[in-house]
Chains A and B, each alone.
Chain A
Amino acid sequence: MIRNLLPVALALALSLLAARAMAVLPDEILDDPTLEARARALSAEVRCLVCQNESIDSSHAELARELRLLIRERLVAGDDEDEIKAFLVSRYGEFVLLKPPFEAATAVLWFGPFAFLLIGLAVMVIYFRRQSRDFAEQASGGLSHEENERLGRLLDPAGDERPEDEERKGPSS
């Protein structure tokens, strides 16, 4: 059933979940399937500048077609993906790439999600630590470790202070 898969699947290993959008016309498709797959993958990362939020792979605009052809020509000529992207950026700026480059300025975009995850984990761990301390406290009669020690000292027969104040538990917390 899921057979006859074109080597398009090869290119997909590069980008995990690329939506297979398509405006490529028959006369654009390269004969070499591997190169064509690379062209498709690269096109999916290039923004169509005359559209609103589409890649050149899925746009029917003339400019999109022009850029698709350009990418294929360059791949056939032996350029690699980074060189082609560099060329496009030199003409149109970083905005033309749908995956922002990895630089100081865009660090917040790339590290942000990871930072959120770390913060989330940290908050969770702190919350559970506090929980388990309160849990143990509850188990030992509602007193913390320090309070238990104080109680011990207060119960010393030599002392006159009434321990009831320390003994009273708060409402179940």
Chain B
Amino acid sequence: MIAELGHFSLIMALLAAVVQGSLPFVGAACRRNDWMLTAAPAALLQLLFVAGAFAALTYGYVTSDFSILNVAENSHSAKPLLYKFSGVWGNHEGSMLLWVLILALFGSAVALFGGNLPLSLKARVLAVQAWIAIGFLSFSLITSNPFARLVPAPLDGRDLNPLLQDPGLAFHPPMLYMGYVGFSMAFSFAVAALIEGRVDAAWARWVRPWTLAAWIFLTAGISLGSWWAYYELGWGGWWFWDPVENVSFMPWLLGTALLHSAIVVEKRDALKVWTILLAILTFSLSLIGTFIVRSGTLTSVHAFASDPERGLYILMLLAIAIGGSLMLFAWRAPSLTPGGLFAPISREGGLVLNNMLLAVACGTVFLGTLGPLLLEAFGHKVSVGLPYFNRTFVPVAAPLVFLTAFGPFLSWKRADLPGVLGRLKIAFALGVVASLAAVYLSQGGPVLAALGIGIAAWLFTASLLEWAERVKLFRATPRETWRRIMGLPRAAHGMTLAHSGLAVAVAGMIGASAWSSELVTVARPGERLDLGGYSYLYQGDEAAEGPNYRIERGRFTVERDGRQVAVLAPEKRLYPVQNMPTTEAAIHTTGLADLYVVIGDADGKGGRTVRIFYKPLVPWIWFGTAIMVLGGLVSLSDRRYRIGAPQRRSAAGREAGLADRKPAAAAAET
């Protein structure tokens, strides 16, 4: 019964979306306040109904109701409760439901907290959001109904893939979806602005918080996924340039560009056309990603069950949403008023360069992901993997990381480059020192890695240097410095955190790629193995039982200089329902490096294959991204976002802005 209620709820959500997508839109065109005011309640109602449907499906999972087809295919009664819960989105239909839930969530957030938005803009934004919702709600109801019944109901389900029964992976999809579905908000704002015919500093101020929120979640989601792969897949890899990974990375790249170009729109009223295009493209990449993951067009370790019929439906949605918005862009964007001027060497100039490099990087990933498909259509089946991306992506990313250091030092409109270079001398020196140290410590390791570490150190130092300058650290009384710290807008602190976090993460990535060492051998109990200055004593295995799996567990005592550092217990698990084995690596982090142990098969003669890895700097990948997320959160808490007061413009400017709006619309504006 609950499932049927859920199904009904989903249909009601579609109806609410239809209302939300029609009345406010027409109302904005006809300047009818009462119609425009239906947007917010409709959005909230939509959320209510989608949430209800989601709750119904969750109930089905948690109570192991195997009469629901989706539950029967993806769950099992012996599964721990956490994974019964996270199993809701561990499959195509359930994750689609999560997708529309988050879409509705963002719409409602704008409905509730977008009080300072002019009514017509808000109405249009929510209408566009509703159109997307209509597309995906109907997709769900027509092709991927999670509430289909299975009669007769089996005694037990087919279980969730054991690889997914993991806390890290349980929460990776919701985070990821909050990220790239969250960019739908920027998309809706962009389309609404194009329809209105006006993009100005106020628009940018309203868009930025939503974009930032989505970015924060996407960063966290990607990072979580990477961390999961690292500890779960058993060999310490953390990024594989798999199509599904790329498809989450591309919106991140463009989303970062969008965050930065929106600043220029807000502060200097420039780069409007570009920013609008970015907002459309970022979410378009999310949609394309949804298509690739669910249609089976590309081979990938992650892909959901592939289904060309569903793929066709999604492709149709894509064509309408992206094609439509890009057509709108082609038609309306040329009439947007160009904005403030600036010299090439300036903060705006730096942000333009930042955007250009991020866009090129995104284009590179796009080419690598879809290129093989293109070539296949012409009869050449080639494959593109990690080695390709190393050659093509890294040469674009490295200069970007290097140049990020300059950004905060450049002043608006026109900057003094020699002066900036002078201020950065310390950062440069430290970068060189770090490079040399890397060369020395790695004893002839790859030169490019040492260079990369130098760049990371340079960026880190430069970011802190800029912050220190602004608060007059060590140059004024501690009280004065403290006063300045408190007075600095939170977004400034956020920027410092985000940029330095990037440096830390990059350092970790270089360490992971260039300096890890490994030892694989057959070990007998009592044997001692040495790697990276640590000594591992293998103490044998034991068998055990988990909630829904059997365990073979090895035991290792790790010592350094005679002192015990850790006890590691890597496992091999067998999940009987799907007869699937998994390996659980045992990892100990020293903060500067990871000690990583995996056990393999027994050789039947008392020995067992053991792999030990020594991974310097690897934990910094996730420390770094965590700092970036923190930076984003700090920025988001900036009061200026929450007040969102539009910037005052000169009388001439206001006149110019009014020139391309319908005259009566100005009157309808609150």
Contact = CB atoms under 8 A, between A and B. Distances in A.
Interface string A65-94: 000000000000000000000000000011
A120 B443 contact: no
B383 A100 contact: yes
B381 A116 contact: no
Given A18-B513, A94-B380, A116 B387 contact: no
A126 to B, nearest CB: 12
A131 interface: yes
B386 A9 contact: no
B300 A52 contact: yes
Select the residue from B337, B387, B517, B592 with max chain A CB neighbours within 10 A: B387
B386 A44 contact: yes
B371 A112 contact: yes
Interface stretch (B5-13, B41-49, B211-219, B339-347): B339-347
A100 B443 CA distance: 32
A16 to B, nearest CB: 5
Given A21-B237, A113-B360, A117-B360, A53 B387 contact: no
Interface string A94-110: 11111111000110111
A120 B356 contact: yes
A17 B518 CA distance: 16
Select the residue from B352, B353, B383, B600 with max chain A CB neighbours within 10 A: B383
B444 A106 contact: no
Contacts of B396: 113, 117
A93 B517 contact: no
B448 interface: yes
Contacts of A21: 235-237
A54 B240 CA distance: 8
Given A2-B515, A9-B515, A173-B338, A19 B386 contact: yes
Given A52-B301, A121-B356, A26 B444 contact: no
B375 to A, nearest CB: 6
Contact of B655 (A108, A134, A135, A171): A171
Select the residue from A3, A17, A21, A22 with max chain B CB neighbours within 10 A: A17
Nearest to B593: A1
Interface string B292-311: 00000001110100000000
Contacts of A158: none
A30 interface: no
A54 B243 CA distance: 12
Given A3-B533, A4-B532, A17 B514 contact: yes
Interface string B625-660: 000000000000000000000000010110110010
A16 B382 contact: no
Select the residue from B367, B382, B613, B650 with max chain A CB neighbours within 10 A: B382
Given A4-B532, A93-B381, A16 B448 contact: yes
Contacts of A140: none
Given A19-B237, A113-B360, A53 B442 contact: no
B380 A105 contact: yes
A41 to B, nearest CB: 10
Interface in B335-393: 337-338, 341-344, 349, 352-353, 356-357, 359-360, 363-364, 367-368, 371-372, 374-375, 378, 380-388, 390-393
Contacts of A38: none
B334 to A, nearest CB: 15
B159 to A, nearest CB: 21
B652 A172 contact: yes
Nearest to B509: A17
A99 B371 contact: no
A150 B395 CA distance: 49
B242 interface: yes
A22 B520 contact: yes
Contacts of B344: 128, 131-132
A95 B372 CA distance: 10
B436 interface: no
Contact of B341 (A5, A109, A134): A134
Nearest to A123: B356
A4 B360 contact: no
B516 interface: yes
Contact of A58 (B235, B359, B387, B656): B235
A25 B522 CA distance: 9
Contact of A6 (B243, B510, B513, B517): B517
A20 B533 contact: no
Contacts of B442: 2, 5, 9
B237 A20 contact: yes
A45 B387 contact: yes
A13 B447 contact: yes
Interface string B422-451: 000000000000000000011111111100
A93 to B, nearest CB: 7
Contacts of A44: 386-387
A116 B363 contact: yes
A94 B381 contact: yes
Contacts of A5: 442-443, 445, 515, 517
A29 interface: yes
6 contacts: A17-B394, A17-B449, A19-B386, A94-B383, A108-B371, A121-B356
Given A95-B381, A132-B344, 19 more contacts: A8-B518, A9-B444, A16-B448, A25-B609, A26-B521, A52-B300, A53-B385, A54-B240, A54-B301, A55-B386, A97-B382, A99-B385, A99-B388, A100-B382, A109-B375, A120-B359, A121-B356, A124-B356, A171-B659
